Amino acid sequence: MLEGVATNETDELIAGEGVALLIPPAAPVIRICCGILDLVLYASLAILMLYFFIKYGPSLDEALVKAALILLMAFSILILPATVEYLSKGKSLGKLIGGMRVVRIDSGPIVWRQCFTRALMGLIEIWTIQAISVVSVLVEKRSRRVGDLAAGTYVIRERMPLRIPTPPQMPPQLEAWAKTVDLGGISPGLAIAMRQFITRRDLFSSAGGRSLAEQIMRQVYVAVLPRPPQAPPEQIIAALLAERTNRESTRLQAEERMRTHLLGTK
């Protein structure tokens, strides 16, 4: 695995041909405030259901009443929150107001198992010892509470402008070679690594940048034909990314022309 490049543990989504969109986690303070709102909402619902059960419920013996109360509380603070997050694809009232959503660690949509795990852990860290959740959100680098760590999820911000990196410029001396290259061997993971190297190379130390470039180039030499000519690694990587972007743009334009021709629209 390349050090310092995208893996499944990064906060990124992939759009189109290897374009990484940075999806940062929700801020801890916002998470805590919206979590308190959810806590108050579900607690109020539980109290309301309990009130109506006691006042209007059937006359049952003590054992049945206790069992019914347990089921009622389990529904309101466990089943209901998990179901709401599952059906809303990672949202609750608090998250909706805060512009947040729960996603998998790889930024994909959550499944029922993850929703239930988060709610189950919430019985301890939210409904009993809230300090556990608060400390975890404040300390963990992606503001994940214990339930997120157990479920393999985190909370992202949805209301933010997406930052799409500017495509790299084609080095003139490599343009002729790049046009002949078979790019089919460049996997999405390698494309992400190349793009991150180009966009973040100023952040690396000279030794770290050289080491990372060598790791990427070892994969590039295996992935592309004809082999790259003698040139600095950053120029070869930029040429491949620029050609990749150009081909994707050409493909999309051709599809649009075909669609316009078939539908007869301008």
**Tens-digit pLDDT profile for residues 57-81:** 666 667 777 777 788 888 888 999 9
In this prediction, residue 18 has a pLDDT band, given cuts at 50, 70 and 90, of very low
Please tell me whether residues 41 and 145 are part of one structural domain. yes
One domain for residues 151 and 179: no
56 and 142: one domain? yes
144 occurs within a structural domain: yes
Query: Which residues share a beta bridge with 157?
Result: 100
112 and 211 together in one domain: no
In a domain, 15, yes or no: no
Instruction: Kindly state whether residues 119 and 185 are assigned to the same domain.
Output: no
Same domain assignment for residues 37 and 149: yes
% of residues, the chain, pLDDT over 70: 85
Cross-strand bridge partners of residue 155: 102
Identify whether 166 is part of a domain. Answer: no
Number of domains in the chain: 2
Look at residue 198 and tell me if it is in a domain.
Answer: yes
* pLDDT tens-place string over residues 84-120: 999 998 999 999 998 899 988 877 789 999 999 999 9
Whole domain around residue 70: which residue ranges?
28-157
- pTM of the full predicted structure? 0.53
Q: Tens digits of per-residue pLDDT, 151-164?
A: 999 998 876 655 55
